[in-house]
Structure formats: structure tokens, C-alpha cells
Amino acid sequence: MKTNTKRTSHPHRSICTASVLTIILGAGLSLSGCASSGGRGGSSSAGGSSINSSGSNASQPGTNGAAAAAFSIDDPVAVSTLRERALTLLTTAAASGSPEQRANALEGLSVVPSRLKPMLAPALTHESAGVRTVAAMLTGKGQIKEAAVHVRPLLNDPSPFVRCAAIYALARCGESVDQTPLANVLLTAPETRQRAHAAFILGELGNPSAVGPLMSASRMSVARADAISIRLMHLQIAEALVKLGQESAMSEIRAALYAGTEQDLEAAALAAQIIGQLKDRSATGELIVLTAMNAKGEGRYPPEARLAAAASLAQLGNPRGGFIAAEYAKSPVVPQRAQAAAVFGETRLMQNLPPLVGMLDDPSTLVKISAAAGILKITDAAGENRR
């Protein structure tokens, strides 16, 4: 089965907290500070930590097999050095990369709050609405109260994405803030992705009073929006409802895993990602079906759907996630390699560090950032297990 991968070809829900980048990029909200940002590629660089400007969706992978083979997960000095290299790469990208690189690097740094905190102030005033949105969401996720003073002015930002993220950040940081605008965006915004963003935030905030507006929104359409955009919005609303205790909404998410047409595949990929975040182990069988091969040894579904399912399996502790990531670690398509790196990171398994070592030398900066973020997740989990 083949499909148009225009919206599912990038790894950003896997990489970015709260699917913020998925919503931003899909909505055409510029991460470059200009009009729409269609770019999914990364930048080209030969060095492991340098950030140069380029951008292509189909560059030859530069995985350093020798470096991966030489790396020992049993050498604590090598692991510590690798972690510091990943931190340096992400810090550099967050400070001087393209808007897309900055946003993904900030998300990667969220594993290490002490490194993220000094990057937030400039990100919250960045010219790109996408970067401001991600920075505000990470401020809220980490409850980084020191950044709240930089967040409050964003309540008057021209972008509804940024305004909603600012409300989330301030509420999570214990600041007094009017949350009514979230419901207004959810019910009246002209774009489905704006409504989906508001729905996600309402779910994250956990306020039971949001159930009513979310139920109303779940029955709504949006003028001039296509069917798949509305379905994706409804899935995000269902996710929020589940977070607020409405388990019946889970049935809509599980049902979306059954992709009967090409259009259904995008919804299946999103549903797979949501299931991983909600830790719904009852859907493990369906996720495995999404990753399965056919009789010719080819994926039954497109790489993006298979990798989305693999990431969720990894989040659920199923080792199949790493196997699927290995299939695409050397793909000629940049977003697939970046998504594969993200899946390796989601496994939190030390055995998946070596391929990420090699991916730090990829010609795409987006892949490097994803690999660095994965390294931090794995080493952070290893540190927790040793305590």
C-alpha cells in the first residue's frame, strides 16, 4: 500500500513533546519565521557537533559504522563522553540552528533541565512562532518557573499556537492565568490544527471542566477543512478526553489503527503515536500488525506508519521497536532516518546506543539532533536504573 507522505513523513511527534511540532509544521506555521515551512530535511555537516545550513529530504545517510562498531556500552568513560557530545550538539543547535533545528534541539534538551533552562529565554522571544510555541510548552512541561517572566508577554502573541502554549506554561508553573481562551480556540479557531493544539493542552492541564468543551468539539466540523484534517483533530480531542478520564474515547483512537485506505494511514500513524503516549498496552497487537512485513519481505504499510507504531511499541517496552528502527537507520530519506533515531531513543535500551553513535555523523543535522536526543534518553534511563 502506498500513500502520500506529505504530512506523515516527518518524525516530529516522536521527537517533540505534546506533538507540538507535528501540529505546527502541518499547519504551515512557520518555523523559519516566514510563511509556510514545508522543509523536513536537515542540514549537512561532516562534523559530529557542528551546525551548518543545507536541507534535503533525500540525502545519502552518513552513519559512521566504524564509530558504532568501536563503541562499547560497557565503558562508562565512553558513555559519559558520548552523553556530553550529545549535549554539546543539542546546545549548539538550540542556540544557532535553523528554527526547525532549534525546536527539536530544545525538546532533546528537556531530558536535562539544567541545560535546557538557559536556552529558554532567547527561544521564547525568537522570531519564529514555532520556536516560541515549543519553548513555552517545554517551560510548562518542566515547570521551569524561572522562565515564567518571559512567557507572560506571549499571552498577547499574534499566533494562537503561542498564546495557548503560554497559558499552558503559566498554569503549569503555578501562575495565575485565564484559561478561557483555550476553550475559545478549541471551539472557534478557523484551522483544525489550532483546535487540536488547544485540545492537547486542555488534556495536559487535567482540568475536568474541559470535558464539556472537548465533547462539544468532538462533534464539530470545521469550514473548508478536508476530511483527514478533521479526523486528525478528532483523534487529538479523543486523546485529551482519555487524559481527563473519559475512557470511552479510547475506542476512537484504537479504531483508527485499522487503515483501509491510503487516507486512513495518516490517522493510523497518529493513533499509534497517541497509544504509545497513553501507554495503552491493550493495543499492542494492532501496533505489531502496523509494523509487519508482507510475503515479499516489505512493509505492509509506509515507513512513517511503521516507525510511528515502532515508537509506541518501544514506549510500551516491546523490543520490536528497535528492530524496526534498524531497518530505516540508513534510509536515503532524511525524515525516516531521524524518526528511526527517535525510535532507538524511545527504547531506553543501552544496546541501541551504538547505532546512535554512528548517526551522530549523519549528513543531516535533523538526524544528528534526533540521535543526540535519543542518546540522552537512553543514558538518562540507564542512570535512573543504577540508582
pLDDT in tens, 274-318: 999 999 999 999 999 889 876 666 667 889 999 999 999 999 988
Mean pLDDT, residues 266-272: 94
Provide the pLDDT for residue 54: 36
Question: How many Å apart are CA 42 and CA 253, to the nearest integer?
Answer: 31
Can you read off the three cell numbers belonging to residue 324? Answer: 524496526
> 219 vs 57, which has greater pLDDT?
219
- Cβ pair 10, 128 in contact under 8 A: no
**Distance between CA atoms of 44 and 361, rounded to whole angstroms?**
10
Q: How far apart are CA 68 and CA 340, in angstroms?
A: 15
Check: CB of residue 334 under 8 Å from CB of residue 366: yes
More confident residue, 81 or 292: 81
Phi-psi region of 105 (alpha: psi -120 to 50; beta: other; left: phi over 0): alpha
pLDDT at 63 over 90: no
Decide if pLDDT at 22 tops 50.
no
pLDDT tier at 35, thresholds 50, 70, 90: very low
Residue 186 CA to residue 219 CA, distance in Å, equals 12
Report in angstroms the alpha-carbon separations of 121 from 33, 75, 125, 127, 261: 17, 36, 7, 13, 45
* 126 vs 55, more confident: 126
Tell the burial category of 158 from Cβ atoms under 10 Å away from its Cβ (0-12, 13-18, 19+).
exposed
Residue 310: count other Cβ atoms within 10 Å of its Cβ. Answer: 35
Burial environment of residue 34 by CB neighbours within 10 A (0 to 12, 13 to 18, 19 or more): exposed
pLDDT at 71: 83
Per the structure block, which three cell numbers stand in for 156?
498577547
Range among 196-205, 251-260, 311-320 rated most confident: 196-205
Q: Which residues are paired to 42 by β-bridges?
A: 56
CA 203 from chain centre, in angstroms, equals 17
Measured between alpha carbons, how far is 377 from 220 in angstroms, rounded to an integer? 38
Global pTM reads 0.85
> Which of 63-77, 142-156, 275-289 shows the lowest per-residue confidence on average (mean pLDDT)?
63-77
pLDDT at 384 > cutoff 60? yes
Whose grid coordinates read 508553573? 173
Angstrom distances, CA of residue 99 to CA of 112, 120, 161, 387: 21, 14, 15, 36
Per-residue pLDDT, averaged over 118-133, amounts to: 97
* Number of Cβ atoms within 10 Å of the Cβ of 265: 24
Instruction: Please say if the pLDDT value at position 19 is more than 70.
Output: no
The more confident residue out of 386 and 259 is 259
| % the chain with pLDDT above 90 | 71
